[in-house]
Structure 1
Amino acid sequence: MRRIAKQTGSFFVEPEAKIALVVRIRGINGVSAKVKTILRLLRLRQLHNATFVKLNGAMINLLRYVEPYITYGTPSLKTVRDLVYKRGFAKINGNRITISENSIIEKHLGKYGIVCIEDIIHELYTCGPNFKYVNRFLWPFKLGGPRGGFVKKRIHFTEGGDAGNREHYINKLVKKMI
């Protein structure tokens, strides 16, 4: 696309991201009920939990509201694959179960055409039509604290801290947390 635009003398604009990886980086002692509700909605109940969300207008507004307590950005395919393979668990009947066999996936997501872990990764990364079902099937990712620690959790990423939108730099942070 970029090459075609250059040949024809027009401009190429990168498409906006469809998904975001959201990681909770702060606790919620002394926080308003609305922030607690939004974090619960995002399934970020514990420190260093991570989930995928579909980026649309409403979700961006929710993320902005809880920005001091989370960091988020657009993950690469490698990051999505690492998270699902290394920290991915299935939520089956309210229980956290290891995704050890493709038969588990086929049993619960087969009706949506998803039969293996690679199908889950593809659906998450491309934000396909069954993103909602796949995301609900996965337990929120439990990550460890980043090796070397955070820089400044209370300050926004653009000001040299860790909170807020970090775009593609989320990959570097998650790599330190896996």
Structure 2
Amino acid sequence: MFLVIRVRGTTGVNRDIAETLKMLRLTRINHAVLIEENPSFNGMLQKAKDYITWGEIDSETLVKIIAKRGRIVGGDKITDEYLLENSDYSSIDELANGLLNSEIKAQDIDMKPVFRLHPPRKGYESIRLSFNEGGSLGFRGDLIKDLAKKMI
């Protein structure tokens, strides 16, 4: 499971890339989504690599993101009480493990698929360079959790 975060804005974006970002539901800066690792999504990530960053997310970071920034349709926060009443899961930890193992989708429990994050504390590195070159764009691997923690 990948966490994908939009880093750059819309000015001067090629139409094909803008449509790809729209299909990924990344319409604004600092929005994040969870996507599965499969060939079609990998192609979309490669196409939009100059505007996003992504990496493999672990359970601990996903629990923090859902607890702080997860919302249900209507704008309310996701709580353990809500999960007990409206799903088969009794806590956010179990929900995070279910999402990571692809047992459940966010829409099944009326969770919004997009997480609206804050800008990272201390800012991004360069938003024009790839992560390998010292910037913020592209594939980060496990280091996406560090960026996510700065943005929660």
User: Would you say same fold, with TM above 0.5?
Assistant: yes
- Deviation for aligned residue 1:101: 5.3
CA contact (8 A) 1:20 1:73 kept: yes
CA contact (8 A) 1:155 1:163 kept: yes
Report the structure, 1 or 2, having the larger helix content. Answer: 1
CA contact (8 A) 1:90 1:139 kept: no
- The root-mean-square deviation of aligned C-alpha atoms, in Å, is 2.0
Q: Match of 1:169, SS?
A: helix
How far, CA to CA, are the matches of 1:30 and 1:80 in structure 2? 32
Q: Match of 2:127, SS?
A: coil
Which residue matches 2:99? 124
* Identical-pair percentage: 29
AA partner of residue 122 (structure 1): N
- Is 2:42 the partner of 1:32? no
Q: Match of 1:162, SS?
A: strand
AA partner of residue 111 (structure 2): F
Return closer, same or farther for 1:105/1:141 CA change in 2, 3 Å cut-off. Answer: farther
More deviation, 54-63/153-162: 153-162
CA contact (8 A) 1:124 1:134 kept: no
- Is 2:78 the partner of 1:103? no
Deviations 1:117-157 (A, max 9, x none): 333211122222x2364587234111111111111111111
- Is 2:112 the partner of 1:138? yes
How far, CA to CA, are the matches of 1:155 and 1:30 in structure 2? 17
Q: Match of 1:81, SS?
A: helix
AA partner of residue 146 (structure 1): P
CA contact (8 A) 1:153 1:161 kept: yes
AA partner of residue 171 (structure 1): K
How far, CA to CA, are the matches of 2:105 and 2:100 in structure 1? 9
Return closer, same or farther for 1:33/1:49 CA change in 2, 3 Å cut-off. Answer: same
- Deviation for aligned residue 1:66: 0.3
AA partner of residue 26 (structure 2): L
CA contact (8 A) 1:105 1:117 kept: no
- Deviation for aligned residue 1:96: 2.2
- Deviation for aligned residue 1:78: 1.2
CA contact (8 A) 1:20 1:72 kept: yes
CA contact (8 A) 1:106 1:116 kept: no
CA contact (8 A) 1:155 1:161 kept: yes
Q: Match of 1:153, SS?
A: strand
- Deviation for aligned residue 1:105: 6.3
* Unaligned segments of structure 1, at least 5 residues: 1-18
- Which runs of at least 4 in structure 1 moved beyond 4 Å after TM superposition? none
Taking structure 1 as the reference length, what is the TM-score of the superposition?
Answer: 0.77
Taking structure 2 as the reference length, what is the TM-score of the superposition?
Answer: 0.89
